[in-house]
A and B are shown apart, each in its own frame.
Chain A
């Protein structure tokens, strides 16, 4: 029995071996002219980096070899990931119906870029000239960089069907079924545009490719980008990509990384800015958020959702202490405050939901007009008529506050009749 088994094995092995040999011999004498191509079919691009780490940005030189004559692109991405969302309310081209779908992902690279051959600089300039309406997918195909786009395309994207009622009750809506790979890739391009906004951040035309297929690029990583590992891979046509090469971007105190905003910054700047503006806010009698939010957005590449959501709670302390001080001297009408507070509670429930439905441009536009209204309101408060009235009001306010304080000390019910004083 054992011998039979062994014999069978040997026969099988011999058959397999002879098949292999036949295979090799069939391929062995290659047609002369195709030698290069046959070799190149298996030749994937290769690349290496001159450094393994950067200190808060810098220049890293990429060199490598790809198949001669073929275009080469470099895809660069950070391991650190960020969130992005986009509300699709554009009418469908065929049906004209608005989809009202919210696309959202937590997995976009915090830094993403495709380095294109230097010869594409004019094409990139043309894309930049298109202004805010530029399309990332069109830019990719214009630059011939479709094949290079891969890492963000695999980000897991959730989508929600928004409804008007859902908006009122502050829900994102029903989660829709996952998209197929092709659509996920398409939607990821839109999210990339929302996140990085300008073509200059997403493409860099600095790749020099020699006729023999060697390429080199000085890739510049700006300051204030995400720390951690970065990867670069070379892509030269379909299914011809190199293994990624990696480097580390390190940042050190006082530069810190805001993981939700996807930005590194020197922590003293926002501290000083916030300090200055909250002092000015006290003086002008309007909260700092009016000035702070637009300034933060204009200085750092922060998402407007994070700015709104993070600045808002900073005033909690001053409000709480204000309420405490007023309530100690019974200077708050609870009936009025709570009634209006109930209405404000509903408003506060709905508003933050709407922040993620609008784009940064819409945020800026509406905020701009709010500031115009506020400026008019402030201007009205500097007119002589208002000042005269306000002087009286302030005197009454002072008087009544004083009485409230005295009443609180004496532990009696406060009373203040402004008319009695006149």
Chain B
């Protein structure tokens, strides 16, 4: 498929993209996280698209997964309204405060901290300690 974006054209393997998006969205809706961090490398590294094309389009693809996943979780009775009403405002507030802080701190150090935090959490889940 040929993708035209801002006056440029890119040739991509749509089958690979769709297969990847399908797998990522199964796992992400099954475990209840956003698939962004996997979807972006899929499109940049896997399909060779530039970042400026990927940011918006991957968000759109992920949103489809989030909407469908949420509806299905609701259908299966996995949704707790009160719990949602506690966390939803916090998530919105966080999305508002986050970018303001992001300008002031080094993304490199955030990433390093994230690596450490993720490994600690993974160790906990896998029963390493």
Contact = CB atoms under 8 A, between A and B. Distances in A.
A and B held together in a complex: yes
B113 to A, nearest CB: 8
Contacts of A338: 60
B6 A400 contact: yes
Interface string B39-81: 1010000000111110111111111111111101111111111
Contacts of B58: 337, 340
Contacts of A378: 37, 111, 114-115, 118
A357 B111 CA distance: 34
Contact of A348 (B31, B66, B115): B66
B125 A274 contact: no
Interface in B71-97: 72-84, 86-95, 97
A215 to B, nearest CB: 38
A46 B75 CA distance: 45
B33 A274 contact: no
B32 A293 contact: yes
Interface in A31-87: 83
Nearest to B53: A333
Given A279-B98, A315-B34, A345 B64 contact: yes
B6 A355 contact: no
A270 B125 contact: no
Interface string A363-388: 11111111110110111011000010
A281 interface: yes
Contact of A416 (B8, B23, B77, B82): B8
A286 B79 contact: no
Interface of B is mostly: helix
B65 A345 contact: yes
A407 to B, nearest CB: 8
Interface residues of A, number: 115
Contact of B23 (A326, A347, A369): A347
A282 B95 contact: yes
A318 B50 contact: no
Contacts of B79: 260, 306, 309-310, 313
Contact of B94 (A260, A278, A353, A371): A278
B3 A335 contact: yes
Given A282-B95, A312-B73, A271 B90 contact: yes
B25 A347 contact: yes
Interface stretch (A117-125, A200-208, A389-397): A389-397
Interface string B103-125: 00101101111110111011111
A352 B78 contact: yes
A327 B19 CA distance: 25
A349 B80 CA distance: 19
Contact of B110 (A283, A312, A355): A283
A132 to B, nearest CB: 10
A344 B77 contact: no
Contacts of A401: 52
A294 B121 contact: yes
Interface in B23-39: 23-39
A312 B86 CA distance: 14
Interface in A271-299: 271-291, 293-295, 298
Contact of B60 (A282, A305, A334, A350): A334
Given A285-B37, A379-B115, A351 B90 contact: no
Contacts of B55: 326, 331, 397
A258 interface: yes
A144 interface: no
A397 to B, nearest CB: 4
Contact of A375 (B56, B62, B90, B115): B115
A210 to B, nearest CB: 43
A144 to B, nearest CB: 33
Nearest to A363: B31
A-B pairs with the 6 shortest C-beta distances? A282-B98, A309-B78, A278-B94, A347-B25, A308-B32, A289-B33
Interface of B: 1, 3-8, 12, 14, 17-19, 21-39, 41, 49-53, 55-70, 72-84, 86-95, 97-99, 101-102, 105, 107-108, 110-115, 117-119, 121-127
26 contacts: A260-B80, A261-B83, A270-B86, A270-B87, A279-B101, A280-B98, A282-B102, A283-B98, A306-B78, A308-B29, A308-B30, A311-B32, A311-B87, A314-B84, A317-B88, A323-B63, A332-B59, A336-B1, A336-B49, A343-B25, A347-B21, A352-B30, A354-B26, A364-B127, A396-B52, A413-B7
